């Protein structure tokens, strides 16, 4: 049993023992009972065992561990090729599984590119703010100089040299 990431959204049936983070368990607390199994992992990645009291739904990208044999839809959700044996009616061909994996990889690349673009935009915005501040300071300085020259000229007009 290992902690795995869901490639697509999935549901887990009532009575299933699964290992969840405290955040995952908190969000589904009314649908979980404590299990007697030992904790999986340590520290921040620690996951406690729970038994589902009802059907539980998980989003793509969530990480969890499930005790026991996975059914076909969970095999697919975790990116495993399902056994070709028993439930042939729900079989997924290699092309579909590869398409799911490729779409997931592309989505992760797009997410990373978006994060990089955001960081770049923030950096450029900081440069613009610095330039704006410098321009405002220069404008204030020039305005002060013009005001001094104007007041000096008006003093000369009021007090002409004898």
Q: Which helix (H) or strand (E) holds 10?
A: strand 10-12
Report the alpha-carbon angle 109-118-133, nearest 5: 165
Q: What distance in Å separates the CA atoms of residue 39 and residue 15, rounded to the nearest whole number?
A: 18
Which of the pair, 138 or 92, is modelled with greater confidence? 138
The pLDDT tens digits for 6-33 are 889 999 999 999 999 989 989 999 999 9
Ranges 34-43, 58-67, 110-119: which has the least confidence: 34-43
pLDDT of res. 161: 56
The CA-CA-CA angle for residues 7, 13, 94, to 5°, reads 35
Q: What residue segments make up the domains of the chain, in order of their start?
A: 4-92
**pTM listed for this prediction:** 0.50
Count CB atoms within 10 A of the CB of residue 61: 14
Helices (H) and strands (E) in the chain, counts: 3, 7
């Amino acid at each position: 049993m290992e902690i795995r990431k869901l490639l697509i959204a999935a549901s887990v049936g009532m009575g299933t023992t699964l290992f969840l983070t405290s955040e995952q368990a908190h969000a589904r607390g009314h649908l979980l009972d404590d299990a007697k199994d030992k904790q999986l992992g340590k520290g921040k990645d620690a996951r406690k065992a729970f038994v589902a009291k009802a059907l539980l739904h998980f989003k793509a990208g969530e990480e969890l561990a499930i005790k026991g044999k996975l059914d076909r839809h969970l095999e697919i959700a975790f990116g495993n090729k399902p056994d070709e044996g028993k439930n042939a009616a729900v079989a997924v061909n290699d092309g579909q599984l590869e398409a799911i994996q490729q779409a997931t990889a592309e989505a992760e690349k797009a997410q990373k590119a978006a994060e990089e673009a955001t960081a770049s935009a923030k950096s450029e915005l900081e440069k613009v703010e610095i330039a704006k501040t410098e321009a405002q300071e220069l404008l204030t300085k020039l305005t002060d100089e013009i005001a001094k020259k104007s007041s000096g000229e008006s003093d000369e007009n009021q007090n002409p040299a004898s």
